[in-house]
Structure 1
């Protein structure tokens, strides 16, 4: 009976496992393999060049600039996003607002929008003449501060960062609200009786009790910057001006589908994979100390 059950389970799992190996594992192995070749397309015969693609990568100024831009976004956006999400979640759960459900829906709404829709929306918001930002500055008498936000090398990356924060903050806020709802109200009541302020309850009850969720959202947020920034940059700036909004994913795409340099693009893909694993490991190790 146990043997039949084992064969039945194996038969149910085998199709899914086969699909996973075929469409996930095999392409990943091919990326690692083809990163060692000079390959300009499907019809071209790959030429083995060893680690030359990786050597070229670290002498490519455009690639290094894209790494710098991506690094700045990955450093700033997760911190700001998660801080806003955590503060908003704490306010909405502790203040017992009647409109709590409404605010939850409003803040979460950007997370269900298509990334392309978000990119188009914020392109109009940042528009130099018709955009909400410059129009608002004009109304406030601050017209001298108006800038072509997506066309200025000094501001383009930070304009993208604001868009990334706006898109993701509500998603993580809902996660934190669910975590706070699971915390016993007796803890907050006892702290109030002892004279604890709202800030003390936030730092001594809310944050420690949510720490495991915060650790997970840090990794999610870092990886989210990689994927979402690709769409935003591709639609809003195309890497401009002068590559000052170029991120690693858009540079990879350009090398593969614009320059037909697939071997080099796959080497960049390997670089992204290794860096993502390292960042997840480092993040996990750094935050683990605070979980005990």
Structure 2
């Protein structure tokens, strides 16, 4: 019993610091957000007034909230899905053995993933700039001056521009995960398929995709939550929700309310974001078939 007790105490001593940190920096703030969403709170140390679900009622009656929700959903579809597909394509090409200097391209494609989101947003803001950027001069060069528009200042193009920026930033990150998964597949399986006369595309669909499925499921969930969280910095730096709220997303709208002393309302939006992240992750997990890797 002494040995068993000592062993358990030792294990508890090893685990306890991590549990304390997790409780202090994850569990407590999460619970605090849920509690704050039920109060009319300025977040400035003033006395809070309990309002129950009034913040949520106000949220669902807020037209700007629905614009932010629509834009967040737009980015999930237009940015999330192409990011996964592009990363999968790059991974397949760079592991096929048919691309020279594949290691060089792996570094090039992965490089945007290690940059700060602020740096990426500033970089693409200059790319899209109507006078200093490269898009409009290229349009002029090819005789398409009629398409010369302020990309980030036009409601029809601003969300597409942000989506392109997010795809450029994230594709290399998921590509590396897929490359690691593909490298773990036995070459003998591909050799057997080659002997049976399978083409490269057939091997990709019948071997690579099924054996990579667990990683794919995981990255889909990562992509869903990544779009929600990463869109904040990109939008905040590039457009700050403009023009006229046309690029507002849920987290930038939450931030603005928090900074404008509507802390309780901002926390209600945060709870909603948390809820849809959980729901979408569960739906994705069910649709793609069970447990993730």
Question: Above 0.5 in TM-score?
Answer: yes
Q: Deviations over 1:94-124 (max 9, x none)?
A: 1343301000000000000000000000000
Q: Which residue of 2 aligns with 1:92?
A: 94
Kindly indicate whether residue 223 of structure 2 is the aligned counterpart of residue 208 of structure 1.
Answer: no
Q: Separation in 2 of the partners of 1:147 and 1:209?
A: 45
- Using the size of structure 1 for normalisation, the TM-score is 0.96
Q: Which residue of 2 aligns with 1:131?
A: 133
Q: Which residue of 2 aligns with 1:286?
A: 287
Q: Separation in 2 of the partners of 1:125 and 1:204?
A: 40
Q: Which residue of 2 aligns with 1:142?
A: 144
Q: Which residue of 2 aligns with 1:83?
A: 85
Q: Which residue of 2 aligns with 1:223?
A: 225
**Aligned Cα RMSD in Å?**
1.5
Name the CA shift for 1:283/1:18 in 2 (closer, same or farther; >3 Å).
Answer: same
Q: Separation in 1 of the partners of 2:198 and 2:140?
A: 44
Contact 2:38 2:53 in 1 (8 A): yes
Pick one of 52, 58, 70 that aligns with 2:54.
52
- SS for the counterpart of 1:243 is coil
For residues 36-47 of structure 1, the aligned pairs below 5 Å read 36-47=38-49
Kindly indicate whether residue 272 of structure 2 is the aligned counterpart of residue 265 of structure 1.
Answer: no
Q: Separation in 1 of the partners of 2:14 and 2:206?
A: 48
Q: Which residue of 1 aligns with 2:178?
A: 176
Q: Separation in 1 of the partners of 2:170 and 2:19?
A: 32
Pick one of 24, 32, 35 that aligns with 2:34.
32
- Using the size of structure 2 for normalisation, the TM-score is 0.95
Q: Deviations over 1:6-43 (max 9, x none)?
A: 11221232222122212211111111111111111232
Q: Separation in 1 of the partners of 2:94 and 2:144?
A: 33
Kindly indicate whether residue 69 of structure 2 is the aligned counterpart of residue 67 of structure 1.
Answer: yes
Q: Deviations over 1:218-240 (max 9, x none)?
A: 00011111111100111000100
- SS for the counterpart of 2:289 is helix
- SS for the counterpart of 2:95 is helix
For residue 280 of structure 1, report the CA deviation from its aligned partner.
0.4
Q: Separation in 2 of the partners of 1:25 and 1:58?
A: 27
Q: Which residue of 2 aligns with 1:275?
A: 276
Aligned residue-pair number: 290
Q: Which residue of 2 aligns with 1:110?
A: 112
Q: Separation in 1 of the partners of 2:229 and 2:4?
A: 45
Q: Separation in 2 of the partners of 1:19 and 1:200?
A: 48
For residues 229-248 of structure 1, the aligned pairs below 5 Å read 229-248=231-250
Q: Which runs of 5+ in 1 are unaligned?
A: none
Q: Separation in 2 of the partners of 1:92 and 1:31?
A: 44
Contact 2:44 2:261 in 1 (8 A): no
Q: Which runs of 5+ in 2 are unaligned?
A: none
Q: Which residue of 1 aligns with 2:192?
A: 190
Q: Separation in 2 of the partners of 1:24 and 1:213?
A: 26
Quick check: 275-284 or 180-189, which moved more? 180-189
Q: Separation in 2 of the partners of 1:117 and 1:179?
A: 30
